Amino acid sequence: MKYFLAIAVAMISLSMNGCGSGYNNRNSQVSAFDSITDAPPAYHVGAGDDLSVIFPYLPELNYEGPVGPDSRFTMPVAGTIVTLGKTVPEVEAAISSALEARHIAAGAAVSVSIRRYAQVIYVGGEVRTPGAIPLQSRMDPLQAITMAGGLLDTARSSEVVIIRRGADGQPELRVVDINAYIKSGASAEAPPLRAQDTIFVPKSSIAEVDLWIDQYINKTLPFNRGLSYTFNSNLGNTTTGATTATPTQ
């Protein structure tokens, strides 16, 4: 029994010591995208985005509507505008040019805003409501986690993983410390997100150890759960802390 407990303590110690560096070690073996700390790329209007077009001096031309699955935006008078690969200012310029080409208005002032973003990112792991959430302009990991309901108590917020598809389609990883961002506001720990990014929040080391104890000690030893243990840093001082445990039959 004592021998088994000593092995258990050693395993738990190894588990806790390895938790803090596991992702970093694995991250060194895969491609990491350093450009994540660069200024975020301008948002490109995409299929499903809901646009609002305002003409300050021609309010009768104001229009609201979605971008179609083919990335085309159709509005009265101006006709169909191809939005594929265009930023909001570029869509504004395209609408203005269309009005001028149709001899409706020359140099019309136009303002385009996105009422609803259709592009999404995915948040999983130790958050309250994992799943897809709309990508907002210049959204960072903390904002995404907040929209996913916030962190669970079992979250390891110091090693949040961002997974992104590279130009060749292969996954690229980046590990960020949300705690450091909350404390210092370090921009390196709050990189801008892009469409289709995945944020994964792993379990904390304590949660992993609790799960390990439950799976490999509580459910393995022939004693009931009334038996508790005191794990000291010195393996030689490992003691049992309960006297009321009874063997299971």
Residue 10: how many CB atoms within 10 A of its CB? Answer: 12
- The domain ranges of the chain are 23-42+119-205, 50-116
pLDDT at 185: 75
- Tens digits of per-residue pLDDT, 165-189? 776 767 888 899 999 888 887 766 7
Per-residue model confidence (pLDDT) at position 46: 84
**Which tokens in the block code for residue 66?**
């979605």
Q: Which CATH superfamily is domain 23-42+119-205 in?
A: Outer membrane lipoprotein wza domain like (3.10.560.10)
Instruction: Convert the chain into a string of H (helix), E (strand) and C (coil).
Output: CHHHHHHHHHHHHHHHHHHCCHHHHHHCCCCECHHHHCCCCCCECCCCCEEEEECCCCHHHCEEEECCCCCEEEECCCEEEECCCCEHHHHHHHHHHHHHHCCCCCCCCCEEEEEECCCEEEEEECECCCEEEECCCCCCHHHHHHHCCCECCCECHHHEEEEEECCCCCEEEEEECHHHHHHHCCHHHCCCCCCCCEEEECECHHHHHHHHHHHHHHCCCCECCCCCEECCCCHHHCEECCCCCCECC
178 and 145 Cβ atoms separated by less than 8 Å: yes
Residue located via tokens 């210049």: 138
How high is the pLDDT of residue 167?
65
C-alpha closest to that of 170 among 64, 19, 12, 31: 31
Beta bridge partners of 221: none
pTM exceeds 0.75, yes or no: no
Q: What is the pLDDT of residue 233?
A: 41
Give ∠ CA 190-142-208 in degrees, rounded to 5. Answer: 105
Residues 189-228 pLDDT 10s: 788 888 889 999 999 877 766 666 666 666 655 544 444 4
Task: Enter the tokens of residue 221.
Answer: 């030893």
In angstroms, the CA 138 to CA 175 distance is: 18
Buried b / exposed e over 158-187, threshold 16 CB at 10 Å, is: bbbbbbbeeeeeeebbbbbbbeebeeeeee
CATH topology of domain 50-116: wza like fold (3.30.1950)
Q: pLDDT per position in the chain (249 positions), as tens?
A: 444 344 444 443 444 444 444 444 444 444 555 544 455 567 788 888 999 999 999 999 999 999 998 989 999 989 999 998 899 999 999 999 999 999 998 888 999 999 888 888 999 999 999 999 988 877 899 999 999 999 999 999 999 999 987 767 678 888 999 998 888 877 667 888 888 899 999 998 777 666 666 666 666 555 444 444 444 444 344 444 444 444 444
